[in-house]
């Protein structure tokens, strides 16, 4: 039996401050995430950052929380179930597909334990980041090895660390952009917003931005547009000094376009599933950057409907993440099959 784990970063157990503090403490203390020596960072985190951030983050999580709980956790579970159904439909009974998180639940440790009990004797780990980076992709891989140590089980394992140039991924990404009416010949601007990484990681050999460049080149070919007609920018910088992170910043690009009249078709191709960075940041930060502060959401809770949250004049066009769509599940199944 082969156990397949679709892994992502994770989410708090609830949008309440105490649960958020537990989650952020685990997340921000990860060696792949923290940006300074551990003792100093632990003191700052415990004494200065978490006492305030757990409350501000609670407001953000409440905005996106659903009856199913965290959209990221629910989306990952649904996606794993769809991939499982595709394997089952082909009579591939030797494959067991589960979702797991680096931080929070379902943990990699618990999912590995479940797969062992189900009879798996080999594991395929697929972090759901098409373009790999030291953080968060390698944070998932680190957590995977730690989880094996924790339960004392070290089956033969394969890690699929990226699928940035996979034909199926590029194809459905292009189709998702076409589906919202993207028309370059009518003057639409396509903006791809990806998670920023620390420049020190790139200087240490991280190929994240090189992978992004290749994804963009292939996407341009698939859409039939010049590669330089696609703008790439970065979001989710952590800390006060943005100059130490990959750029340009997405908000800066959007502010620079505020006085223009063209439509902005906005996609986040590095986020496989909706999460805080899409469901909250897009309506609260990206749309107002383009259309002004009056475009901020007029409601304090929206769940997973980004378009409903965006108080936009129509200039900002959101491209939904691939999420738990059947097309996305089919692509991931094909990626996994190449490693079986």
Q: Which pLDDT score is estimated for 176?
A: 98
Torsion angles phi and psi, residue 22, rounded to 5:
-60, -45
Is 36 a residue whose pLDDT tops 80?
no
In a domain, 2, yes or no: no
**Is the distance from CB of 273 to CB of 324 less than 8 angstroms?**
yes
In a domain, 266, yes or no: yes
DSSP characters over 167-232: HHHHHHHHHHHHHTT--GGGT-EEEEEEE--BHHHHHTT--HHHHHHHHHHHHHHHHTS-GGGEEE
CA distances from 322 to 92, 161, 243, 269, 332 (A): 24, 18, 30, 8, 11
- The share of the chain scoring above pLDDT 70, in percent, equals 100
Q: Which pLDDT score is estimated for 241?
A: 83
Among 67, 70, 145, residue whose Cα is nearest residue 106: 70
In a domain, 95, yes or no: no
Q: What angle do CA 81, 103, 208 make, to 5 degrees?
A: 85
Rounded to an integer, what distance in angstroms lies between the CA atom of residue 112 and that of residue 240?
A: 38
Q: Which pLDDT score is estimated for 60?
A: 94
Task: Encode pLDDT of 197-218 as tens digits.
Answer: 999 999 999 999 999 999 999 9
Torsion angles phi and psi, residue 127, rounded to 5:
-65, 130
Burial class (CB in 10 A: 0-12, 13-18, 19+), 291: buried
Task: Encode pLDDT of 259-278 as tens digits.
Answer: 999 999 999 999 999 999 99
Query: What are the structure tokens assigned to 119, written together?
Result: 């009879």
Q: Which pLDDT score is estimated for 150?
A: 96
In a domain, 296, yes or no: yes
In a domain, 314, yes or no: yes
Q: Which pLDDT score is estimated for 92?
A: 73
Q: Which pLDDT score is estimated for 216?
A: 98
Is 41 a residue whose pLDDT tops 80?
no
Task: Encode pLDDT of 75-134 as tens digits.
Answer: 999 999 999 999 999 887 789 999 999 999 999 999 999 999 999 999 999 999 999 999
Q: Which pLDDT score is estimated for 142?
A: 93
Write out the H or E segment, with its range, that includes residue 18.
helix 17-28
DSSP characters over 241-266: -GGGB-SSBHHHHHHHTTT--S-EEE
Q: Which pLDDT score is estimated for 256?
A: 97
In a domain, 150, yes or no: no
Among 133, 182, 128, residue whose Cα is nearest residue 332: 128
In a domain, 292, yes or no: yes
Task: Encode pLDDT of 144-157 as tens digits.
Answer: 999 999 999 999 99
CATH code for the domain in which residue 302 is found: 3.40.50.1400
Rounded to an integer, what distance in angstroms lies between the CA atom of residue 126 and that of residue 157?
A: 11
Question: What value does the mean pLDDT take over residues 172-191?
Answer: 97
**Is the distance from CB of 185 to CB of 260 less than 8 angstroms?**
no
Q: What angle do CA 45, 304, 219 make, to 5 degrees?
A: 90
Q: Which pLDDT score is estimated for 206?
A: 94
Q: Which pLDDT score is estimated for 330?
A: 98
Task: Encode pLDDT of 309-338 as tens digits.
Answer: 887 788 999 999 999 999 999 999 999 999
In a domain, 42, yes or no: no
Query: Residue 266's domain spans which residues?
Result: 167-318
Number of structural domains the chain divides into: 1
Query: What are the structure tokens assigned to 326, written together?
Result: 């059947």
Mean pLDDT estimate for the chain = 93
Task: Encode pLDDT of 269-312 as tens digits.
Answer: 999 999 999 999 999 999 999 999 888 887 788 777 887 788 77
DSSP characters over 27-84: HHTSTTT--S-HHHHHHHIIIIIHHHHHHHHHHHHHHH-BTTB-HHHHHHHHHHHHHH
């Amino acid at each position: 039996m082969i156990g397949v784990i679709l892994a992502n970063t994770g989410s708090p157990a609830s949008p309440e401050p105490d649960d958020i503090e537990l989650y952020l403490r685990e997340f921000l203390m990860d060696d792949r995430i923290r940006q300074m020596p551990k003792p100093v960072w632990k003191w700052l985190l415990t004494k200065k950052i978490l006492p305030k951030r757990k409350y501000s983050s609670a407001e953000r999580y409440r905005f996106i929380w659903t009856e199913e709980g965290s959209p990221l956790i629910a989306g990952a579970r649904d996606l794993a179930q769809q991939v499982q159904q595709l394997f089952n439909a082909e009579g591939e009974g030797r494959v067991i597909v589960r979702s797991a998180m680096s931080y929070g639940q379902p943990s990699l440790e618990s999912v590995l334990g479940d797969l062992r009990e189900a009879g798996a004797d080999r594991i395929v780990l697929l972090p759901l980041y098409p373009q790999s980076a030291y953080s968060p992709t390698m944070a998932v891989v680190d957590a995977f090895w730690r989880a094996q140590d924790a339960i004392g089980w070290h089956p033969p394992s394969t890690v699929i660390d990226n699928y940035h140039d996979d034909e199926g991924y590029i194809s459905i990404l292009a189709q998702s952009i076409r589906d919202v009416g993207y028309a370059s010949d009518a003057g639409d601007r396509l903006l791809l917003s990806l998670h920023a990484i620390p420049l020190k990681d790139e200087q240490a050999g991280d190929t994240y931005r090189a992978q992004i460049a290749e994804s963009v080149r292939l996407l341009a070919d698939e859409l039939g547009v010049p590669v330089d007609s696609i703008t790439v920018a970065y979001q989710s910088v952590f800390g006060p000094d943005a100059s130490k992170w990959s750029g340009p910043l997405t908000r800066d690009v959007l502010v620079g376009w505020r006085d223009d009249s063209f439509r902005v078709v906005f996609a986040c191709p590095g986020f496989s599933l909706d999460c805080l960075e899409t469901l909250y940041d897009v309506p609260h930060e990206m749309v107002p950057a383009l259309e002004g502060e009056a475009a901020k959401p007029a409601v304090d809770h929206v769940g997973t409907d980004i378009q409903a949250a965006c108080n936009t004049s129509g200039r900002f066009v959101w491209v939904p993440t691939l999420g738990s769509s059947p097309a996305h599940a089919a692509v991931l199944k094909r990626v996994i099959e190449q490693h079986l």
